[in-house]
Chains A and B, each alone.
Chain A
Amino acid sequence: MIKITIIDRNDKEHQVDAPTDMNMSLMELCKAYELPVEGTCGGMALCSTCHVYIQSAHELAEMGEDEEDMLDQAFFVEDNSRLGCQIRLKDELDGLIVKLAPQAE
């Protein structure tokens, strides 16, 4: 179990426990805690509704082509943008801080 901080769109911080033995993604974690993440496509990097900004210095697995492509269709994209569904929860991510990107409409 690791701790992850998720900052919602009203700048409220949620520190949550995240299991690392279930092959869960950050998107699924947000949904499990009923944070306002749609995850429309079900985690296939096809919708960008789980767009987040990484705010801590953790080293994440490199972005795949699918994810990079999908971010082309997202808005408010910054250098620290990632899709939550492509981030697998692992022990190394203990203390990770992410902020949910604004929703387009």
Chain B
Amino acid sequence: MSNNIKETDILIIGAGPCGLFTVFEAGLLKLRCHLVDSLPQAGGQLTEIYPKKPIYDIPGYPSVLAQELVDNLMEQIEPFGPEFTLGERAEEIEKLEDGSFVLTTSRGSKIKAPVIAIAGGLGCFEPRKPPIGNIKDFEDKGVEYIIRDPEFYRNKRVVISGGGDSALDWTIFLAEVAEEVTLVHRRQGFRGALDSVEKVMELNEQGKIKLITDAQVVGLGGSDQLEHVQIKHKTEGEFKKETDHFIPLFGLSPKLGPIAEWGLNITKNAIEVDTFDYRTNVPGIYAIGDINTYPGKLKLILCGFHEATLMVQSAFKTIYPDKKLSFKYTTVTGIEGLEKTAE
């Protein structure tokens, strides 16, 4: 094995609550974990979608904010020194002769482990694409869903669509960079920070951007590169607007993604498992939390915690077939952390 492959005992795909708690249960059995997540931070949908929403069904917590639960989980697993590869999507897995797996991420990182636990929740978060028939034809030819480098838009004409924070923030930012910025939004009100809304209104009054409300982008045109967008106004009908770029910013939505190609049995976007230990049809790969399905499945964080706990017991037997596992209560023995791995 080359040096740039990291090794671990359980490779966890998805750093949401269920993946995080797996580290704790694995740690009690002295198993090390490495988590991979496409989002740049741990917490999954709790951090990405609803950090400030209270959760009421975690045993022992009458109410806990989603972000608070994630912070607590991070503290709880800290003694076990989990490794994280964040902002990288789990792309491909390869099964080696010794039965272990090597995962390759979207940025080429490689992690080797005898057991994979898929705790992928709803899947990977990807930009929502507006339902415009030919939008795919113009992807990277004038249509971008994510702004990677604002300089790319210097002295270009840009149409942004959306009403949330990212649409507002980028409109404000690009007003200084691009030749012309047009923001198209389906209604007159905006959600998003009040400051940003006011700033956008101000820029519009100063003529530094063009704000078109009560309207949606419904069509795209151009011979090879994007040349214009078709805008439909609620009362004034459709008109054409010439532009070099169209940036739809409608937030993120989860997609199952590459996991669907790993030879696992999948029904309705969820991975079928055996409730004995949450194993999938591929030996060595388990699926826990919202991403799995079985008769009677409930998509609850607390059920995911239970699944993680049982799964880890089985994973131990897979990794150490000859060792006898003796289950310990933490109330008797306390928590014994793991030594830090040498880099």
A residues bordering B, Cβ < 8 Å?
A: 40-42, 44, 46-47, 65, 68-69, 71-73, 75-77, 102, 104-105
Q: Is B129 interfacial (CB-CB < 8 Å)? A: yes
Do B122 and A46 touch (CB < 8 A)? no
Given A68-B191, A77-B186, is A44 in contact with B50 using a C-beta cutoff of 8 Å? yes
Closest partner residue, chain A, to B187 (CB atom):
A72
Which residues of B come within 8 Å of A, CB atoms?
A: 45, 49-50, 53, 122, 128-131, 162-164, 185-187, 189-191, 250-251, 253-254, 299
Q: Are A73 and B250 in contact (CB under 8 A)?
A: yes
Q: Can you list 30 A-B pairs, Cβ within 8 angstroms, ordered by A?
A: A40-B122, A40-B254, A41-B45, A42-B299, A44-B50, A46-B49, A46-B50, A47-B253, A65-B191, A68-B187, A69-B163, A69-B164, A69-B191, A71-B186, A72-B162, A72-B185, A72-B186, A72-B187, A72-B190, A72-B191, A73-B162, A73-B163, A73-B250, A73-B251, A75-B130, A75-B250, A104-B128, A104-B129, A104-B131, A105-B131
Q: Nearest 5 CB-CB pairs, A to B?
A: A69-B191, A72-B163, A73-B251, A73-B250, A104-B131
User: Which residues from B are CB-within-8-Å of A41?
Assistant: 45, 49-50
Docked CA distance A47–B123 (Å): 14
Q: Closest residue to A46 on the B side, CB-wise?
A: B49
Q: How far is the CA of A88 from the CA of B49 in the complex (A)?
A: 23
Minimal Cβ-Cβ distance residue in B for A72: B163
Q: List the B residue with the shortest CB-CB distance to A47.
A: B253
Judged by DSSP, the binding face of B is: loop
Contact among B130, B189, B190, B191 with A104 in the assembled complex (CB-CB below 8 Å):
B130
Q: Compute how far the CA of A46 lies from the CA of B227 in the bound complex, rounded to whole angstroms.
A: 34
Q: How far is the CB of B50 from chain A (nearest CB, A)?
A: 6
- How many residue-residue contacts, CB under 8 A, span A and B? 49
Tell me which of A65, A73, A76 contacts B131 (CB under 8 A): A76
A47–B45 Cα distance when bound, in Å, is 11
The docked-state distance in angstroms from the alpha carbon of A71 to that of B253 is 14
| Nearest chain A CB to B48 CB, angstrom units | 10
- Minimum C-beta distance from A101 to chain B (A): 11
Nearest CB of A to B248, in Å: 10
Question: In whole angstroms, how far apart are the Cα atoms of A68 and B188 in the complex?
Answer: 11
Instruction: Tell me how far the C-beta of B7 lies from the nearest C-beta in chain A, rounded to whole angstroms.
Output: 35
A72, A77, A104: which has the most chain B beta carbons within 10 Å?
A72
- Complex Cα distance, B191 from A49, in Å, reads 19
How distant is the Cα of A103 from the Cα of B232 in the complex, in angstroms?
A: 20
Q: Are B164 and A73 touching (Cβ within 8 A)? A: yes
Q: Do A102 and B128 touch across chains, with their CB atoms under 8 A apart?
A: no
A contact residues around B49 at 8 Å (CB): 41, 46-47
Partner of A105, one of B122, B129, B189, B299: B129
Picked from A72, A76, A77, the residue with its CB within 8 Å of the CB of B164 is A72
If A40-B253, A42-B299, A75-B128 are given as contacts, then 6 extra A-B residue pairs at C-beta distance below 8 Å, sorted by A number, are A40-B254, A65-B191, A69-B164, A75-B131, A102-B131, A104-B130
> Which residues of A have CB within 8 Å of B164?
69, 72-73
A residues in contact with B128, CB < 8 Å: 73, 75, 104
CA distance A75 to B132 in the complex (A): 10
Note all chain B residues with C-beta closer than 8 A to A44: 50, 53
Interfacial chain A residues near B163, Cβ < 8 Å: 69, 72-73
What residues of chain A lie closer than 8 Å to B129, measured between beta carbons?
A: 104-105
Nearest Cβ in chain B — how far from A86, in angstroms? Answer: 14
Which residue of the partner chain A has the closest CB to B191?
A: A69
Q: Which residues does chain B contribute within 8 Å of A69, judged by CB atoms?
A: 163-164, 191
Within 8 Å CB of A40, what residues of B?
Answer: 122, 253-254
Chain B residue with minimal CB distance to A103? B131
Return chain B residues, CB-CB under 8 Å to A73: 128, 162-164, 250-251
Residue of B nearest to A75 (CB): B131
Q: Distance in Å from the Cβ of B135 to the closest Cβ of chain A? A: 10
